[in-house]
A and B are shown apart, each in its own frame.
Chain A
Amino acid sequence: MEEGAGVIQVLMILHALLGVGLLGAVTHQAVSVGRSGGLAKRTMVDRYRGVHAPAFVVTVMVLFVLTSLAGGLLYPRYRIDVRTTLEDLQLRAANGLFEIKEHFAAVGLGVLPAYWLSWQAPLTAEYAATRKYLTWLLAFVVWWNFLVGEVLNNIKGLFP
């Protein structure tokens, strides 16, 4: 095995696991924050949306930072191995998807302080829109980055 390949594999798995946790937490919160009215019907969807959304804030923040950190550590290997392969295969769009992924990670890191502020108790009406849209923005960024990461990770299988 090539030197350092084991570390990269562990980091890849860790990055993916952190991403899954982040995806679950932020999606739960994003669905919950969009909720309007009571929960008269106790369907599975109602129960999914009926979580205590503020409880996810610290989890989302910590997972976002850790996932970005793991991604940052993997970046050099990506730049040498994956990106050059994409360029050889002339998959410009795949490169573009990754460019957007890295920018979105940066934007996500930048909004974390305001996101935290908007969820501080007591939840005020003044910050309701900020709370909702920042959570949705983070959810969008996390979904994009997760899906792009998965596509790029499996790109040789997807585009043989």
Chain B
Amino acid sequence: MTRYARFNTFAILYGVVYFFCFYYNWAVFRYYPVLEGFRLQSQPPATAGPAILWYAWLAQALVITLGLTLLVPRRVAARLGPTAAWLGPVLVVVGILVYERRWFY
């Protein structure tokens, strides 16, 4: 199991990185369904229509988390333990529900 300890690190970090990406609306690229294409720069809604940031959040979370996971020494990853692997994502889910409650008022 120690050999795969980084899988747990990935599970802990991925949700956190994703949360920060959408919380700060940070997207290095956007998809514009009306234009049927990706753009690096934000386009005017009047001509480009609405943008989808979700693809960027997923990709950014994947790349950043993979990088961070590889940077964490295996010994440290092993010490994080299996509890953090489920507790981290559960806290992210709670954070999402708390943050998105703004839609229901």
| Chain A contacts to B: CB under 8 angstroms | 72, 75-77, 79-80, 83-84, 92-93, 95-97, 99-100, 102-104, 106-107, 109-111, 113-118, 120, 124, 126-127, 129-130, 133-134, 137, 140-141
Check B52 against A79 for contact (C-beta < 8 Å). Answer: yes
Q: Complex: how many Å from CA A120 to CA B3? A: 12
Q: Complex: how many Å from CA A92 to CA B103? A: 6
Q: List 20 A-B contacts (CB under 8 A).
A: A76-B36, A77-B33, A79-B33, A80-B34, A80-B50, A92-B103, A104-B93, A104-B96, A106-B15, A106-B18, A109-B58, A110-B10, A110-B18, A111-B15, A114-B8, A114-B86, A117-B8, A129-B82, A133-B90, A134-B89
Q: How far is the CB of B69 from chain A (nearest CB, A)?
A: 9
Name B's interface SS: helix
Q: Complex: how many Å from CA A90 to CA B80? A: 45
Q: Which of B9-39 contact A (CB under 8 A)?
A: 10-11, 14-15, 18-19, 22, 31, 33-34, 36
B47 in contact (CB, < 8 A)? no
Q: How far is the CB of A5 from chain B (nearest CB, A)?
A: 14
Identify the closest chain B residue to A127 (Cβ).
B82
New contact pairs (6) apart from A100-B97, A117-B4, A127-B82, CB-CB < 8 Å: A80-B50, A92-B104, A117-B7, A117-B85, A120-B4, A137-B90
Check A76 against B31 for contact (C-beta < 8 Å). Answer: yes
Q: Complex: how many Å from CA A124 to CA B55? A: 36
Q: Complex: how many Å from CA A114 to CA B10? A: 8
Check A96 against B102 for contact (C-beta < 8 Å). Answer: yes
Q: Complex: how many Å from CA A129 to CA B58? A: 27
Contacts of B7 in A (CB 8 A): 113-114, 116-117
Q: Complex: how many Å from CA A102 to CA B34? A: 20
Q: Complex: how many Å from CA A115 to CA B90? A: 13
7 tightest A-B contacts by CB? A96-B103, A110-B14, A114-B11, A76-B33, A133-B86, A130-B82, A113-B7
